[in-house]
Amino acid sequence: MAKSKDSGFLKSDVFERTRPQGALVSPATYNLVIGLTLCWGFLANWLIVKYIDTQYLLSIPLFVFFIAYFASCFLGIYLFNRYTEPAISFIGYNFVVIPFGLVVNIVVSRYDPTLVLGAIQVTALVTVVMMLLGATFPDFFKSIGTTLFISLLAMIFVELFQILVLGRVNEWVDWVVALIFCGYIGYDWGRANQIPKTVDNAIDSAAALYMDIINLFLRILRIMGRKK
């Protein structure tokens, strides 16, 4: 039976863990599990984009869609926060991946497939670079965690203001948010390699990295789309 983790409902404690909850694995196995978990998330998103009709999604009332979106994400976060059993954490991961995939489906349907492929390639390159930097300079990225959080929170309010008051989002907002998520990839990757290397921690770390990477991809796609 899975053991309970001491954490809040929404706050992910994966990077605060200092004692292993489960068998330790080698660094190679740990990073492989992170990579495979991320790949599964991206594959699931591709399947959603390929096989779910966006017209069906757009026909769902907006408030219903958002309630289901947040309910699924919160349930996923709760599961991989609360339990040390890797299988349950992986189920929680999927409850995050699915609603993100639905949003990605709606967004990419507005763009030319060639542009989407270009955004995927840029995102992959930036992700690899930031992971290398995060592994090389973990102390630096750890030191900017609070700055990243405050910056992202501020940009959320700025973007909401521009949408609700100005009726449009300026391009510089997308650039700033993209840079913030670049920082988060290095930040989370560096922290992922400083906690006990267990399969459960690898899955939970992948969940955090997945959200960073998908958000970066969506911003890069918007930036590239503006140029067309």
In a domain, 66, yes or no: yes
What does the pLDDT profile of the chain (228 residues) look like in tens digits?
444 343 333 445 676 766 767 789 999 999 999 999 999 999 999 999 989 999 989 899 989 999 999 999 999 988 888 888 899 999 999 999 999 999 999 999 999 989 999 999 999 999 999 999 998 998 899 899 899 999 999 999 998 988 888 888 888 999 999 999 999 999 999 999 888 999 999 999 999 999 999 999 999 999 998 766
- What is the reported pLDDT for 4? 39
Structural domain contains residue 97: yes
| Amino acid 84: pLDDT | 84
The CB density around residue 128, as the number of other CB atoms within 10 Å, is 11
Return the SS3 of 83: strand
Q: Do the domain assignments include residue 94?
A: yes
CA distance 18 to 91: 24
- Whether 126 contacts 169, CB under 8 Å: no
Residue 107 forms part of a structural domain: yes
- What are phi and psi for residue 60, nearest 5 degrees? -75, 130
- CB neighbours of residue 60 within 10 Å: 12
213 contacts 37 by C-beta, under 8 angstroms: no
10 in a structural domain: no
- What is the structure's pLDDT at 3? 40
What pLDDT does residue 147 have? 94
Whether 174 is covered by a domain: the verdict is yes
According to the model, what pLDDT value does residue 12 have? 58
For residue 8, being part of any structural domain is answered with: no
Domains in the chain, number: 1
Torsion of CA 159, 188, 13, 154, to 10 degrees: -20
pLDDT of residue 169: 80
pTM (two decimals): 0.88
Let me know if residue 199 belongs to a domain: yes
The pLDDT value given to residue 19: 74
The dihedrals phi and psi of 198, each to the nearest 5 degrees, come to -120, 165
- Is 97 in contact with 120 (CB distance < 8 Å)? no
- Tokens found for residue 68: 């289901």
Q: Domain limits at 209? A: 23-227
As a whole number of angstroms, the distance between CA 88 and CA 95 comes to: 11
Tell whether the torsion through CA atoms of 53, 96, 38 and 169 is positive or negative. Answer: positive
